[in-house]
Chains A and B, each alone.
Chain A
Amino acid sequence: MAQPVSSGTTRPAARRKKMPYWVEPLTTLVVLGTWLLYSLWEVLFHNTGTYHNYISPYFSPGIAGWFGWHILTALYVAWVPFLFRFTCYYYRKEYYRGFFWDPPGCAAADAPRKRYSGETKWPLKINNLHRYAWFLALIVLLFLWKDAVEAFIFPHHGFEVRVGSLILLVNVVLLTFYTFSCHAFRHMVGGRRDCFSCGGKPSQSYRFWSRVSRWNAFHGAWAWASLFSVWAADLYVRLLLMGVIHDARLF
């Protein structure tokens, strides 16, 4: 278990009146859809995400630059986090409900799609390779940590803390929680085993697994929080680049 048994069991003083079943999937559709459109705009219409020592998470690591390519530079890397999120067990729930209407809500009386094959056929079968997306995302995450550190070291000024530095730091922290609360990771560190203590005492993998399990209970929260933080970080850098806002120094 290693997850709170009673999470969500507390009976609210009065049951919240149920919203129509379509509210939730529609919200998901709108929010995720907007994010997708924004991301496409960002990736297809911009070639740089670097503002002094800040680099937008969409453009890091700058693989394109390593080879001297200069068009659509975000495309070489942005697909990794996208794939990680697309195959994520939590986002799967959200987009199957929001985009596919499979199902729109629990026990909803709605006419669903006629054809349904779950995740047994291509292309949705690709979701079974979530663990590989996790490894790729881990590499990107390492670069984002490097970026976050560099975001505190300003050219000519040295170490300073500005709004942008904090945004990038918060972003990478949230992404770390999101990455390490992953279901596939939980399986790899210990979930695969049937017996944690066959040696007579809890194994190291049990300790990893139970720690990941505790984080995993909030995987959905990390997923949303890190999505918005990535969005915010990129938007912040973009607005700086566009000269719309100015970075403020805190101390």
Chain B
Amino acid sequence: MTTETLETHQYDVIVIGAGGSGLRAAVAAAEGGLKVAVITKSLLGKAHTVMAEGGAAASFGNLDAPDGWETHFYDTMRSGHFINNYRAVEIFALEAPDRVLELEEWGAVFDRTSAGRIMQRAFGAHSFRRLCHIGDHTGLELLRTMQYKSIHSGIDFFMEVTLTTLLKDGERVAGAFGYYRADGRFVLFRAKAVILSTGGWGRIYKITSNSWESTGDGAAMAFRAGADLTDMEMVQFHPTGMVWPPGVRGLLVTEGVRGEGGLLYNSEGERFMERYDPARMELSSRDVVARSIFKEVQAGRGTPHGGAWLDISHKGAEYVKRKLPAMYEQFLTLADLDITRERFEVAPTCHYTMGGIRVDAESCASSVPGLFAAGEVAAGLHGANRLGGNSLTDLLVFGRRAGLGASAYVQAWQGDAPKVDQATVEAEMVRIVAPFQRSEGINPYQLHQQLQELMTVHAGIMRSGDVLAEGLEKILDLKDRARQMMAAGSRTYNPGWHAVFDVENMLLLCEGIVRSALERKESRGAHWRTDYPDELEEFQRVNYVESYRDGEIQVRTEAVSPMPERLAKLFTYGKAPGLVSPAEREAMG
């Protein structure tokens, strides 16, 4: 293997992942005059960001004037059940509007209000209409805008490259190594700083709204390289995924349907959300709505294929087609169903991983020097449950912050460029091609399927100690068998081979999820334990943090840092800060 020529590139900063946060990070780093490359395992413009539909949350108050960053902060902390990193949330709420306006200058065209400003729609658990959107393809708009911004920013792109490992020089990060998917050629990137923006790992569940890419490569690589992960137990199930036909099970039905007035019914025709959250009804937070649908189905009030009815037909065909064109098209072509006339079935689907790399709120730096993370792969902003519409602005706010953080790190650099250990690289080459050397082994696709089924049963929307513990055993067993994954054929664009590394990454993260889920002996946000059904005060004070040492995952607790007085008092009014008049504030001190 060592005789194979090794293509090597040298950069100041490499960004792994070309979704919204990766591109925003690259643009920020390149603006500082650094030499930047973006490396993606797909083509440019195909990242999972395109799947975001509803909108990007930013408190402009274009429709609801009382909105402001404080209320956005308040909503986000409450929905995250207070285990969020408050500083991250504060930065996020403050900077979100500027990031959205930037997009507008770079070419994004949002829907407009009658006053010619950015239109904002209502969304679950947001106190005001806050989601800037373009129909129901806001993610596409964001990604395409960033794509065309970044190709004019002096950034180099490497498309369809799988990176399998991060390289280190002592404690510091030194680059990454992997291969071109098109022909299997090895490639080495030497860099002073690495930004991970690889998204989540929603592919670990059978029913998921995530694209194939969401295999958690970045989180797994960082974990192996010594970075801490946190909040791994927090996996968001979106309440409304498609149910029928089987081929599209899990496909996302945007929360925008409910935002635009869609109503949920059970098989008995009741608006069952009245039972669970009479104040917010359909627009309750995602964890609540998902759990409610799940409970209705459990109670025997589910639809024929095990879900709930969602109905938007009362809004009229014209309106639905204009505001939700992609949904209309999606149901018409894939389910032969006209949502402007008929109700349709929905059920929870895995959607987002709140957990991930533990990062500093200001700079997005991880616990490994030179390694930064932004977007879904990072943790802290969303706590125990993400608010709809917060992820798109998360990408922009923290993508930029990570780019600036990496720039500052590189600019403060003293001495030689980091060295890459030749032996490590050679060992990795051997490991990468090893699946071809096994004449007998396991098909990675089948292993992946088993993992998905296992996670759905043992660590899905409803959890309990016994079931989780049993799941852990099974994961460890699968991990053992995964050593025998094999690939047939050549190294030319061989998806069976690529899948081997995806499955390895997912296995590692699944173990992390289950281990943290076992520790958190309460129900909080997305983490619902039937053996501990209540939210407990003592657990509000801690995050579960995992580190990977010598092939073992260690879980520890870290205290959630308490909010300073100026932020804490936002929660004392008994209502959203935007609704509190100056006089009332005065009165309450």
A197 cross-chain contacts in B, Cβ below 8 A: 116
A117 near B: Cβ within 8 Å?
Answer: no
Q: How large is the interface on B (under 10, 10 to 19, 20 to 34, 35 or more residues)?
A: under 10
Which of A5, A10, A197 has the largest number of chain B CB atoms within 10 A? Answer: A5
In the complex, which residues of chain B have a beta carbon less than 8 angstroms from the beta carbon of A10?
332
- C-alpha spacing A11/B330, complex, angstroms: 11
Tell me whether A11 and B336 are in contact (CB under 8 A). Answer: yes
Contact of A11 among B321, B325, B333 (CB under 8 A): B333
A5 near B325 with CB under 8 A, answer: yes
List 15 contacting pairs A-B, 8 Å CB cutoff, sorted by A: A5-B321, A5-B322, A5-B325, A6-B321, A6-B325, A6-B328, A6-B329, A9-B329, A9-B332, A10-B332, A11-B332, A11-B333, A11-B336, A197-B116, A200-B116
Residues of A within 8 A of B329 (CB): 6, 9
Closest to A198 in B: B116
> CA of A11 to CA of B321 in the docked complex: distance in angstroms?
15
Of all chain B residues, the one with the shortest Cβ separation from A197 is: B116
Q: Mark A92-105, 1 if CB is under 8 A from B, else 0.
A: 00000000000000
Closest Cβ of chain A to B337, distance in Å, is 10
With both chains docked as a complex, state the minimum distance between the C-beta of A126 and any C-beta of chain B, in angstroms.
36
For A6, list chain B residues within 8 Å (CB): 321, 325, 328-329
Query: Which residues on A sit within 8 Å (CB–CB) of B333?
Result: 11
List residues of chain A with CB within 8 A of the CB of B325.
5-6
Main secondary structure of the interface of B (DSSP, over half): helix
Cα distance A205–B336 when bound, in Å?
A: 40
Q: Mark A170-199, 1 if CB is under 8 A from B, else 0.
A: 000000000000000000000000000100
Name which residue of chain A comes closest to B114, CB basis: A201
**A: which residues have CB within 8 A of B?**
5-6, 9-11, 197, 200
The distance from the CB of A13 to the nearest CB of chain B, in whole angstroms, is 8
Closest to A200 in B: B116
Shortest CB-to-CB span from B330 to chain A, Å, is: 11
Given A6-B329, A200-B116, 13 more A-B residue pairs with CB atoms under 8 Å apart are A5-B321, A5-B322, A5-B325, A6-B321, A6-B325, A6-B328, A9-B329, A9-B332, A10-B332, A11-B332, A11-B333, A11-B336, A197-B116
A180 to B328, CA, bound (A): 32
* Complex: A7 Cα to B333 Cα, angstroms: 14
Q: Which residues of B contact A11 (CB under 8 A)?
A: 332-333, 336
Alpha-carbon distance between A197 and B112 when the two chains are bound, in angstroms = 12
Per-position 1/0 for B315-330, Cβ under 8 A of A: 0000001100100110
**Closest partner residue, chain B, to A1 (CB atom):** B322
Q: What's the nearest-Cβ distance from chain A to residue B557, in Å? A: 52
For B116, list chain A residues within 8 Å (CB).
197, 200
Smallest beta-carbon distance B284→chain A, Å: 31
- B322 / chain A contacts, CB cutoff of 8 Å: 5
A4 to B, closest residue via Cβ: B321
Residues of chain B lying within 8 A (CB to CB) of residue A200: 116
A197 to B321, CA, bound (A): 24
Render B425-436 as a binary contact track against A, CB cut-off 8 A, 1 for contact: 000000000000
The complex places the Cα of A5 from the Cα of B332 at a distance, in Å, of: 14
| CA–CA, A6 and B116, complex, Å | 25
For A9, list chain B residues within 8 Å (CB).
329, 332
Residue of B nearest to A5 (CB): B325
Q: Tell me, in angstroms, the Cα distance from A223 to B245 when the chains sit together.
A: 42
CA distance A49 to B328 in the complex (A): 53
- Whole-angstrom distance between the Cβ of A197 and the nearest chain B Cβ: 8
A200 to chain B, nearest CB (A): 8
Residues on A with C-beta less than 8 A from B328 are 6
**Bound: A200/B322 CA distance, A:** 23
CA distance A200 to B329 in the complex (A): 33
Give complex CA distance A30, B194 in Å.
65
Q: How far is the CA of A24 from the CA of B64 in the complex (A)?
A: 55
Chain A residues within 8 Å of B321, by CB: 5-6
9 nearest CB pairs, A to B: A11-B333, A11-B332, A6-B321, A5-B325, A9-B329, A9-B332, A5-B321, A11-B336, A10-B332
Distance between B25 CB and nearest chain A CB, rounded to angstroms: 33
Minimal beta-carbon separation of A129 from chain B (angstroms):
33
Complex Cα distance A11/B329, Å?
9
CB distance from A113 to the nearest CB of B (A): 33
Interface string of B327-348 (1 = CB under 8 A from A): 0110011001000000000000
Q: How far is the CB of B23 from chain A (nearest CB, A)?
A: 27
Tell me the residues in window 100-151 of chain B with beta carbons closer than 8 Å to chain A beta carbons.
116
Determine the distance from Cα of A11 to Cα of B337 in the docked complex, in whole angstroms.
10
Q: How many Å lie between the Cα of A197 and that of B332 in the bound state?
A: 34
CB distance from A111 to the nearest CB of B (A): 30
In the complex, what distance in Å separates the CA atom of A176 from the CA atom of B328?
Answer: 35
Bound CA–CA A46/B333 (angstroms): 55
Question: Nearest chain B CB to A231's CB is how many angstroms away?
Answer: 38
**Min C-beta distance of B322 to chain A, whole Å:** 8
A92 to B332, CA, bound (A): 33
Closest A residue to B332 using CB positions = A11
